Structure 1
Amino acid sequence: MSLSSARRKRRKLKSEINVVPYIDVMLVLLIIFMVTAPLLTLSIDVELPSSNAKALESKQDPIVVTVDSRGQMALQLPEGKPEAMDRAALQAQMAALVSQDKDVRVVVAADRSVPYEKVIDAMDALKRAKVEKVGLLTDAGGNAR
């Protein structure tokens, strides 16, 4: 009898997880993220420089998409004159050219005073037309600022 009563008095194992350390870690991470989040949204005004890089040699001249200071787009084929068009027409024309030649090269040329958003709009139209090789045209021989 004494043996069975000794077994009854033993402590039973707890099958619970102690979550207090996890809560402490979570609160520390929360404070770290609350402090660093406002620092990530700072913006800096940047004036993009000209490039001194040499032009790539290619057998085929690229197609040039020009964005002027008013944000209007124009398409210039290798042996043609610039043709002004809106975004939808540019996308349709480029999709037709890509369907003929998937390796067509396109460069985007923009005036220095063009808002960055307009250049990205032109590049987005090219991406939607499935153009794979897109470059940016810079002023050769300029000084980086």
Structure 2
Amino acid sequence: ETGATELFHGVKMRPGKPLGLHHLDGVPIVTLPGNPFAAIVGYYFVVRAMIETSLGANIFDTAQVDARLSADFVRRREVLEFAPVRLRTDQGSARPTATIIARGSSACLSPLVAADGLAVLGGRGKLLSAGTHVSVLKLH
């Protein structure tokens, strides 16, 4: 209806699959999913990166840490998945442990509120074993 050109709609990530990108009169328009958790993930991992790329500068205080999973995690599909985690650093360990709080529903914010960050769970295969190294975007 707006005359925007759709560049893509739907990405291989969970949550956030319905994210899309459109273009209207030289302006990029990101369409975020309707569920709050999915929209937040889309904002943190897509919109913020687009803003920084277009400005050519890091303007957000984005801290990422390398952590290891505290327990096995079975992915539902082989897509990039984001999960809210609590981080804990054991004495004598250089790398924190990431404990997945809950798989989380796209509509549920309570796991995100209790989280220290969002773990990026990708790679091949459905099983990520305890001790697997994961990147965690710390939430402020």
Give the alignment's TM-score, normalised by structure 2: 0.23
The structure with the greater share of residues assigned to helix is 1
The structure with the greater share of residues assigned to strand is 2
Give the alignment's TM-score, normalised by structure 1: 0.23
